[in-house]
Amino acid sequence: MKQDKSQAAFSAARKVIPGGVNSPVRAFKSVGIDPVVIDHAKGAHITDIDGNHYIDFVSSWGPLILGHANDDILKAIQEAADKGTSFGAPTQIETEMAQLIVDMVPSVDKVRMVNSGTEATMSALRLARGYTKRDLIVKFAGNYHGHADSFLIKAGSGAITLGLPDSPGVTAATAQDTLLADYNDLDSVERLFKDHGKDIAAIIVEPVAGNMGVVPPNKGFLEGLRKITTAYGALLIFDEVITGFRLAKGGAQEYFNVMPDLTTLGKIIGGGLPVGAYGGREDIMDALAPDGPVYQAGTLSGNPLAMAAGLAMLKTLNETPGFYEEMDRKAAKLEAGLKNNLEKTNTPGLINRVGSLMTMFFTEKDAVKSFDDAMASDTEKYANYFRKSIESGIYLAPSQFEAMFASWAHTDEDLDKCIEASYCAMKEMQG
């Protein structure tokens, strides 16, 4: 695999961009090679500037559920761009987008558009605190909700990939307002509420953890969070930046039939453009300015290009018969093939999958149900597997603690090639 141009481009980037990247995991540090630099993509395939072709299972970290450069989305962006790229003023497409989200997501009565998942979760916390008039937030070790200060306490995703679970720059006072619980452990949550319940504004949780690798909720876990928050007058916030519109039309809350008070969204609703949103019960959302006292604003919020792309995306998901059943079929085929490879090559590992999200953990454990379970994975083995996979034209997340994303654009031939390449990689690793 030729990498001359990518290596030169990365060297040039490091001179003017910290670490050479604009988001840390992209640097490939945990997998021990320089990153490939992408030139273009279509469907389920990407091509780097050296001309290497890959089958993509990162999907821009989830939003490209229809694949790269989808024709309907590109057409919607072009038509919107012809009218202007930003107005900082109301447009009808914002309302159309908001209405579709309200129609699709069961717990959302009103929704506010923002520009990223981090902005959505940060704003949802402020709203929860303003609405309840309480200060404390409960989050779970290994759950990642963006890089706002309140969340960088035992965060998942890039923070654990780089060995930086706590970030300098987060003040002690801010950290004290965030209480840590253990994912899939209701007892740890109940203890926090027993001690601090009257001061806790909300629990924020990834309903399916996707940033310590994919870790599904235990049976009764989400229902337990709903019961605890209701009993103490706190809010339940589902961070559906990854799961929203991917597991079902109504996201994880529809998939598991547990309704939060607030929901944060991102990724898919921009169709590949920068976007985020948060929404929930009408009485809570009405606490936002200009109707209420909780302030949040953004010049580019509801940007017409992002709204057009997201609207085209959501309409396709909403109107395509059997969409989620077909996505599940593809993901199940991939899961079965990878599991078979683990068994045939006698490679210690397991796969967690929920819908079209999955992670293959290289681990001796029988199950990965918690942050500690995930941290026991063999990251060196994953790095070796990643390097062999990318050399075979399979583009995976450069971290053990991320997800593989199946897309509508993946063909059965793509899946077969991935399974075959995975087997070859594991066989070489054993040799």
The mean pLDDT value for 112-133 works out to 97
Parts of the chain belonging to CATH 3.90.1150.10: 4-69+322-430
* 221, 158 Cβ separation under 8 angstroms: no
* 269, 238 Cβ separation under 8 angstroms: no
**Summary mean pLDDT of the chain:** 94
Tell whether the model's pLDDT for residue 215 goes beyond 90: yes
Tell whether the model's pLDDT for residue 168 goes beyond 90: no
Q: Please, which pLDDT band fits residue 162 given cuts at 50, 70 and 90?
A: very low
CATH 3.10.180.10 assigned to domain 71-319? The reply is: no
Measure the CA–CA gap between 126 and 69, rounded to whole angstroms: 35
Q: Is the pTM of this model over 0.75?
A: yes
Q: Please, which pLDDT band fits residue 163 given cuts at 50, 70 and 90?
A: very low
Phi/psi region, residue 103 (left: phi>0; alpha: psi -120 to 50; beta: rest), is: alpha
Residue 267 a catalytic site member = yes
The predicted-structure confidence for 340-375, as pLDDT tens digits, reads as follows: 999 999 999 999 999 999 999 999 999 999 999 999
Residue 385 a catalytic site member = no
Point out the catalytic residue in the list 139, 154, 267, 330. Answer: 267
Q: Please, which pLDDT band fits residue 176 given cuts at 50, 70 and 90?
A: confident
**Stretch among 24-38, 64-78, 156-170, 392-406 having the lowest mean pLDDT:** 156-170
Parts of the chain belonging to CATH 3.40.640.10: 71-319
Looking at residue 431, what is its pLDDT? 66
Residue with tokens 């987060």: 170
Q: Please, which pLDDT band fits residue 161 given cuts at 50, 70 and 90?
A: very low
Point out the catalytic residue in the list 144, 382, 385, 423. Answer: 144
Please give the CATH topology (third level) of the domain spanning 4-69+322-430.
Aspartate Aminotransferase, domain 1 (3.90.1150)
Measure the CA–CA gap between 107 and 335, rounded to whole angstroms: 31
Looking at residue 166, what is its pLDDT? 61
Tell whether the model's pLDDT for residue 165 goes beyond 50: no
